[in-house]
Amino acid sequence: AQSVTQLGSHVSVSEGALVLLRCNYSSSVPPYLFWYVQYPNQGLQLLLKYTSAATLVKGINGFEAEFKKSETSFHLTKPSAHMSDAAEYFCAVSGTGTASKLTFGTGTRLQVTL
């Protein structure tokens, strides 16, 4: 079974500092990996996805993630945090084929302070 583990349920950074949100995956086959963001009282918004085309994936709002097979990781980064980045972030994994579904991590709440 595929799964993802997000390390750290809460992360706090200063505005302008590097954002690093950790995600490790477990999959017996090459996975598809995603990062979603959820703002309060809203649904999930796709930040970026990895589908094996390139190991460094650039997403929206200045976020990027690097797929590292040797470390089974897909960490999300942003060079400079902005107050508007405060939200909950979810890593997710999907298999391939018509029966695939998204399996989410437990989420990391990002706090950005002045």
Partner 1 sequence: KAGVTQTPRYLIKTRGQQVTLSCSPISGHRSVSWYQQTPGQGLQFLFEYFSETQRNKGNFPGRFSGRQFSNSRSEMNVSTLELGDSALYLCASSPQTSGPLEQYFGPGTRLTVT
Applying CB under 8 A, the residues found at the interface with partner 1 are 32, 34, 36, 41-46, 49, 51, 90, 94, 96-107
Comparing CB distances to partner 1, the nearer of 18 and 46 is 46
Distance in Å, CB of 35 to partner 1, minimum: 12
Helices and strands per DSSP (H, E), number in the chain: 0, 11
CB of 87 closer than 8 Å to CB of 81: no
H or E stretch including 66?
Answer: strand 64-68
Distance in Å, CB of 8 to partner 1, minimum: 15
CB atoms within 10 A of CB 44: 16
Comparing CB distances to partner 1, the nearer of 75 and 105 is 105
Distance separating alpha carbons of residues 38 and 111, to the nearest angstrom: 13
Comparing CB distances to partner 1, the nearer of 28 and 42 is 42
Distance in Å, CB of 94 to partner 1, minimum: 5
